[in-house]
Amino acid sequence: MERTFVMVKPDGVQRGLVGEIIGRFEKKGLRIVGMKCLVPSRALAESHYAVHKGKPFYEPVVEFITSGPVVAMCLEGPDGTIEMVRLMMGKTSPLEAAPGTIRGDFANTTQQNLIHGSDGPETAAVEIALWFRPDELL
């Protein structure tokens, strides 16, 4: 089994797409092993996006992610789940995200692209530990 960290970003919550997004993962057969709604603190957002520190979009993306409630999730499925979730999300840019993916179907800007998903096993482990205490996971 493999676990990944997924977050519906503030635009997804504001646009009422939480059910649509979570529903896709549920229908795909992934198990929700942790889920919570929160407004991320600046410290949490900075840690989450630490890898992008120094890039031109770092400050805007930290601002954006702390601008309202998000839904943070830990999803579990068979080996390959991390990659599968990334495929279901679609590419970062809405111009490249294929129809049928979450971003391809619903996002139209690169920053407000609705969803985050861990990009590899090491990142997933770090992000799950960053966003959830062990007792918050089933």
Which one, 50 or 138, has the nearer CB to ligand GTP?
Answer: 50
**Which option in Mg ion, ligand GTP, none does residue 61 bind, with CB closer than 5 to 8 A by kind?**
ligand GTP
Coil, strand or helix: which one is 38?
Answer: strand
State the helix-helix crossing angle for 18-27 and 81-89, rounded to 10 degrees.
140
Using CB under 6 A, pick the residue from 19, 23, 29, 60 that binds ligand GTP. Answer: 60
Which one of the spans 21-29, 37-45, 70-78, 115-123 is the region binding ligand GTP (CB under 6 A)? 115-123
66 binds ligand GTP (CB under 6 A): no
Residue matched to tokens 């600046």: 42
Q: What's the closest the beta carbon of residue 71 comes to Mg ion, in angstroms?
A: 17
Considering only residues 6-35, where is the footprint of ligand GTP by CB under 6 A? none
Tell which phi-psi region holds residue 45, choosing left (phi > 0), alpha (psi between -120 and 50) or beta. alpha
Q: What's the closest the beta carbon of residue 26 comes to ligand GTP, in angstroms?
A: 19
Question: Could you tell me the two tokens for 4?
Answer: 């990944």
| Residues contacting 30, CB < 8 A, separation 6+ | 75, 76, 77, 81, 85
Considering only residues 30-59, where is the footprint of ligand GTP by CB under 6 A? 57
What's the CA gap between 74 and 90, in Å, rounded?
19
110 binds ligand GTP (CB under 6 A): yes
Which one, 129 or 138, has the nearer CB to Mg ion?
Answer: 129
Please say if 52 is a catalytic residue: no
